[in-house]
Structure 1
Amino acid sequence: MRIMGRPRALVAVLAACLLLAGCGSGPSQVTTALYLGDRHVSVDEVQGLIDKAVQEQPAARQLAQQHKADMLGREIVRQMIVHQMVTQTAQMDGVVVDPAQISQVMAQDPLAAPVSATNTDASQLAQQIVYRVRDHREVVSDQLLLQSLGAQYFDKLTVTFDYTSVVSDDGGANPVSMREKAFAKAQQMAADPAAAAKVIQADSASGQQTGVGEKVPAVQAPDLAGMVLFGVEPGTVVAFQPSSAQPVWIVAVVRARDLTTPQAVDQTSEPTSTQLAAIGQRLLQTYLQQAGLKVNPRYGVWDPAGLALAPSEAETTGLVLPVKGPAQP
């Protein structure tokens, strides 16, 4: 992995990644925060980290005073899920991180100073607080493993998909309406194996931006490779908004996903550490499905598109649906 070969830049690279990364029914026992395979985390363990955050981090106290401590709970559960899955996945894929590299970062611990609520984007605030109240060495190890996992598959990961788009007529003034339209279209496309083709054909005839048989390697789209489109199995419909800055949603059905074939295509630029970590995290998605993740409803609902906890189903960032009926030959 190229990043691992540049020890002098490691601290700066990882610090930037830590500062910028945006990485059904719940458990029946009220004392359990989450189940993940044979692992479970207690509500007390999550609450202990919330209490620690409020005691140690001024920004956390501000959130608590604003009655937003639930943001910390959701982020703690998310990071626990990612930690468990990246540890297991790295073991299965033979991905390791040199302990000396972790020690090098810890020598100039980028998480030592409290997070500033004024200098941190609101969407990243809870993430940064939780990084600091967890074991810092574990946080650093998780990030390095995610980067290494992303690097291992970066030049081999490819998806082939058919898609249509949902574009706002009002410049995105009503994002809720756009989300609802995209979700409705995803449900149409997942109705049966032939439904997606019919929807895309109709949308194409009406002038919507569509595509069939689009094959995109991660090396040509490192930002997109960290999104939900690259994290699902063939025969899955996804709806997501590639950028909140653009009033466009994509609804796609994944036809093929390849993790083994190196791509002989031009690479526009080297991926950043943040992009590699996002790709590594996205690769955990199929393992999470296999592990049977269950989250206590007090922390919200799991959002597979965002790989995070959303307060409710109405606030998830996308939709993932299996195509109903037998697969097409």
Structure 2
Amino acid sequence: MSTEQSGELEQTEPEVVATRNYTSTWEKNRWWYIARFSKDYKYFYGHTGGLSAQAFRTRRAHDGYVWETKRKWTQALRTSIDNSDDVGAFLNLTNSYLLVCDEEESDNFCKVAQDDLPDIPVVKTSLAGCRVIGRMCVGNKNGLIVPETTSDIELQHLKRELPDSVEVRTLEDRLSALGNVIVCNDHVALVHPDLDKESEEIVADTLKVEVFRHLIANNSLVGSYCVMNNNGGLVHIDASKTELEDLSSLLQLQLIAGTVNGGNKTVASGLVANDCIAYAGMKTTGKEFLTIETALHFPIHKCS
């Protein structure tokens, strides 16, 4: 084969994006069925209608049938941002949008996420020039609250890229790492007991939620030790059974204690989720994934 022909082949080869491991033996077995389907399809139609192994692991679909089928299996996924398992530091995922840190290394993840979340915008941004946006802001389908130090250019970018129904608002508070001190879904929010009263009102107003001041396992950084969607939540592993029952009753939401990334108790550092899908760090074990999916109660059908 000539160098020119070789070059043409290299150009047509699909781009390789961030890979992940199988989250369970069950998922690995599903790959066998897809591989067999692809082989039979090629025999009858002359081309592969399914997925390559690489495409399966990167969740890039080449066939609508496989995409719709695969969506039912891949509700909690392993991923990384810039080779870091602390995905919660670099992402903010809601039912209306996904914010991703504005780094060149996050481009591959954005491509994968846009396939996983075709109905909501994936927006790259920074906040106050920082990349740890997941710890600096808090939001849900109704709004997004960012620190007062966010620049005008960043605010304009967010307002332009996010849906019109999402209100973007700044908040000035001495507890400036908002993602560490507030956790919410589309209906309720838990906040740090020392959050200013005015800040609490802004949270309730912007996110259209009922706000409660509380601790989790005697920790005031509720945003670091809880991840919730509208179906359930995962909290610090040291939360007692009584505390879980009290919190579940208060929020009208079933909460389960667990960890991420192979035993990390700071669950929000390695996990983000909405009602349809969750992203966790690459070190998250199969047992932890089982707890995550049980806690967040993903629907069997594809979310719109």
Which TM bucket (shorter chain)? under 0.3
Higher relative contact order (CA 8 A, sep 6+): 1
TM-score relative to the length of structure 1:
0.25
Q: Which has the higher helix share?
A: 1
TM-score relative to the length of structure 2:
0.27
